[in-house]
Protein backbone atom coordinates (compact mmCIF):
# COMPACT_ATOMS: atom_id res chain seq x y z
CA UNK A 1 0.00 0.00 0.00
CA UNK A 2 1.68 3.18 -1.14
CA UNK A 3 1.36 6.02 1.31
CA UNK A 4 1.31 9.71 0.49
CA UNK A 5 0.97 12.65 2.84
CA UNK A 6 -2.44 13.63 1.49
CA UNK A 7 -3.81 10.11 2.13
CA UNK A 8 -3.12 9.84 5.84
CA UNK A 9 -1.17 11.29 8.76
CA UNK A 10 1.70 8.75 8.51
CA UNK A 11 1.24 8.25 12.27
CA UNK A 12 -0.58 4.89 12.09
CA UNK A 13 0.09 1.34 10.98
CA UNK A 14 -2.60 -0.45 8.96
CA UNK A 15 -3.20 -4.01 10.25
CA UNK A 16 -5.51 -6.31 8.29
CA UNK A 17 -6.72 -9.92 8.14
CA UNK A 18 -7.49 -11.28 4.69
CA UNK A 19 -10.32 -13.63 3.72
CA UNK A 20 -8.02 -15.68 1.48
CA UNK A 21 -4.39 -16.64 1.05
CA UNK A 22 -2.28 -13.90 -0.48
CA UNK A 23 1.11 -13.59 -2.10
CA UNK A 24 3.19 -10.58 -1.10
CA UNK A 25 6.45 -9.18 -2.33
CA UNK A 26 8.85 -7.49 0.07
CA UNK A 27 11.74 -5.29 -0.89
CA UNK A 28 13.28 -1.87 -1.27
CA UNK A 29 11.45 0.92 -3.06
CA UNK A 30 12.53 4.19 -4.63
CA UNK A 31 11.43 7.54 -3.25
CA UNK A 32 7.81 8.41 -4.00
CA UNK A 33 6.07 11.75 -4.52
CA UNK A 34 4.78 13.17 -1.24
CA UNK A 35 1.40 14.11 -2.76
CA UNK A 36 -0.95 12.64 -5.34
CA UNK A 37 -1.49 16.05 -7.00
CA UNK A 38 -0.03 19.56 -6.93
CA UNK A 39 -3.05 20.91 -5.01
CA UNK A 40 -3.25 18.16 -2.36
CA UNK A 41 -3.09 19.11 1.33
CA UNK A 42 -0.85 17.22 3.76
CA UNK A 43 -2.47 15.22 6.58
CA UNK A 44 0.94 14.42 8.08
CA UNK A 45 1.08 14.80 11.86
CA UNK A 46 4.22 16.93 12.24
CA UNK A 47 4.48 16.04 15.94
CA UNK A 48 5.01 12.36 15.01
CA UNK A 49 6.54 12.43 11.53
CA UNK A 50 9.10 15.06 10.59
CA UNK A 51 9.51 16.16 6.98
CA UNK A 52 12.82 16.61 5.22
CA UNK A 53 11.17 19.28 3.08
CA UNK A 54 12.01 17.44 -0.14
CA UNK A 55 9.45 16.84 -2.90
CA UNK A 56 9.69 13.07 -2.45
CA UNK A 57 9.38 10.65 0.44
CA UNK A 58 12.63 8.94 1.30
CA UNK A 59 13.57 5.92 -0.79
CA UNK A 60 15.58 2.80 0.03
CA UNK A 61 12.91 1.72 2.52
CA UNK A 62 11.37 -1.74 2.78
CA UNK A 63 7.71 -2.21 1.82
CA UNK A 64 5.21 -4.98 1.19
CA UNK A 65 3.41 -5.17 -2.16
CA UNK A 66 0.31 -7.35 -2.53
CA UNK A 67 -0.51 -7.85 -6.23
CA UNK A 68 -4.17 -8.33 -7.23
CA UNK A 69 -5.38 -7.08 -3.85
CA UNK A 70 -9.01 -5.88 -3.77
CA UNK A 71 -10.99 -4.44 -0.84
CA UNK A 72 -13.29 -7.50 -0.86
CA UNK A 73 -10.29 -9.58 0.30
CA UNK A 74 -10.32 -7.84 3.71
CA UNK A 75 -11.94 -9.65 6.62
CA UNK A 76 -10.91 -7.21 9.34
CA UNK A 77 -8.69 -4.15 9.49
CA UNK A 78 -7.71 -1.38 11.85
CA UNK A 79 -5.25 1.48 12.13
CA UNK A 80 -2.92 1.39 15.12
CA UNK A 81 -0.93 4.38 16.29
CA UNK A 82 2.83 4.09 15.92
Mean pLDDT of 54-82: 85
At 56 the pLDDT is 77
At 1 the pLDDT is 45
At 42 the pLDDT is 81
pTM listed for this prediction: 0.54
Q: What confidence tens digit (pLDDT) does each residue in 33-64 have?
A: 888 888 888 887 777 777 777 777 777 888 88
At 3 the pLDDT is 67
Q: What is the 3-state secondary structure (H, E, C) of the chain?
A: CCCCCCCCCCCEEEEEEECCCCCCEEEEECCCECCCCCCCCCCCCCCCCCCCCCCECCCCEEEEECCCCCHHHEEEEEEEEC
Amino acid sequence: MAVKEDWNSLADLWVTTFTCSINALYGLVAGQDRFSSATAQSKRDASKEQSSGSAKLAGNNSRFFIPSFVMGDIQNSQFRPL
